[in-house]
Structure formats: C-alpha cells, structure tokens
Amino acid sequence: MRRIKIGTRASRLALWQAQFVAAELKKIFPALEIELVKVRTTGDKILDAPLAKIGGKGLFTKELELQMAAGAIDLAVHSLKDMPTELPTGFKIAAITRRAQPFDAFVSNKFPTFDALPKNSVVGTSSLRRAAQILSLRPDLQIKNLRGNVETRLKKLDAGEFDAIILSAAGLERLGYSSRINELLTEIIPAAGQGALAIETRANDEKIFSLVQKLNDAETFAAVKVEREFLTEVGGSCQIPVGVFARINGGQITVRALIASLDGKKVIKASEVAPLGKINLGKKIAAHLLENGGREILSELISP
C-alpha cells in the first residue's frame, strides 16, 4: 500500500495520538503516504452534560466508524478507554500500542497533594469512576462536573472554578503538561484500557490490518484484554463507576478491580495474581465482585 487515511477526532490530544501512530507506521514503512482526516464526533459537540447522561463511550467512535464504512478513512485511532467493549459489526481492533502511564493525575494550583485538600474543596471530573473513588477516600469533598479537552479543563482550573481537577496522566504527558501533575493517584483504579491507544479497522480489510498489526504491543494487548473482559461482564460503560487495571510482570498478571456506588459509600474491590494466559481471568474477578455486593450496587444504579 502506498497511501492511507487515518481518521481522528480534532482535539489536540486526539491529533497527537493519530500523529504518533502515523510516525510509528512511517518508521516501518518509510514510503507510506499518510493523511490525517479530522472527524467531529457527538462527544465533541455536546460539552454541557456529563457523559453518563448523553450516551457514554460510543459518542467518541460512531462518526469515525461511519467514515470507515464509507471508505473515507482506512483506520481510526482512539484512546482505548473511550471504546465500547462491543464494536459494531464490521469493525475490529487491529492493534493496541504500548501502554503509557495508566493512572489518573491530581492537578491543583493551590494544594500539593490530594490529601492536602481542605474540607469542602471543589474537585472537577467528568468520570463517575473517578468521582466515586474520590468520595470513597474523601467524602468531605465536593465533586463538580468537568467536560472539554485537556486545555479547556486546565483553563477552568486556572480560572479558579475548581480547587483541583483529576485527569488522565497519559493525556497530560502526551501534550507536554507533565509539570502540571502534582501526583499520580495510584490508589484510584483506572478505566479499562487507560493509557493505551487502539487502532480500529474494517473487519474485512486484511491489507490495513496486516499493516497496523506491526504496531501491536503483545503485553499491553494481553493486559487490556483482561480489563475489557471484566468490563463486558459487569456491563461497564460511562454510566456506572467501575475500574479495572491489569499489569503484567514476568509470567504473572496482577488485576485490581472495583464496582462502586455513585456517592462512594459502597465500594467492592478485588485483586488477583495469576499466571499469564489464565483463561477468563477478567470474567472470574467480575464474578467475584458481582457475587460480593457488586450486583446490588449495579441494580441500584440502573433502577428507575
């Protein structure tokens, strides 16, 4: 192949991600011509409401998939945490790049650490997962919805709308904002796939699939497979506070996961260490959480 078109959202972070994938492909295929095609998604258009209220993860992928189906682009680059666990018929994840920093970052102009926040401090996040875990650790804090791209969120913090905000550390690092990170919140379990980039293609496009497969990181792929398997079992979406993180060390995989109530008062956690390649590890840890209080939390969340 001589020329391909990569679809991407138009935010600076999304463009960085698409440009990163393009650069990695050029290293392997120097003669390849690559064009980036900007696509505005529903999630980019609706910025005045929490994601949980407007539809969740598919808001950031649907328009890109429509462009792929029409042949306007050959592949799309996504933050893996923004992708639904079930893709529409006709599409597949062809590669997942090596994972960057998986944890959330605490960012504040006033306070050096999360623990240093005074009572009733206002913390910004658009994630139910982050909000629930923050409240479980610090029920004295106030959570305020925060939407928009990374720059918009930082500007709102700088304008004094929040005492602190919680963002993906990987996004901050990719955009050159590492200095804004006060600390990594390793106690807060990340979203499935956080820190990893996914390359989505048409399911029947073997040429594009074989091209981007060169960028697949086997270790990251194995870890996020467990995370997304867990998410599938618990019905994970933007509408429920769940987190899961798998890390591979040598021949073992360590998984941490949780299901929480919106107010953080009920938090069911589990962790497991198993040999790498153990079948259905994501399903196993999901079943454990559901059987030990998680199912009751989820039923409360989805009840009318």
Rounded distance between C-alpha atoms, residue 196 and residue 212, angstroms: 15
Residue that the structure tokens 């919140």 belong to:
185
Provide the 10 A C-beta neighbour count for residue 187: 11
Question: What are the residues whose beta carbons fall under 8 Å from the beta carbon of 73, sequence distance 6 or more?
Answer: 5, 6, 7, 37, 39, 64, 67
Provide the pairing of β-strand 75-79 with 3-8: parallel
| The amino acid at 5 | K
Candidate list 48, 74, 82, 205, residue with the active-site label: 82
118: its two tokens: 């005074």
Closest to 199 in 3D by CA, of 285, 87, 304: 87
Give catalytic status of residue 82 as yes or no.
yes
Check: CB of residue 32 under 8 Å from CB of residue 4: yes
Q: How far apart are CA 138 and CA 119, in angstroms?
A: 9
CA 161 to CA 164: how far, in whole Å?
Answer: 9
Catalytic sites, residue numbers: 82
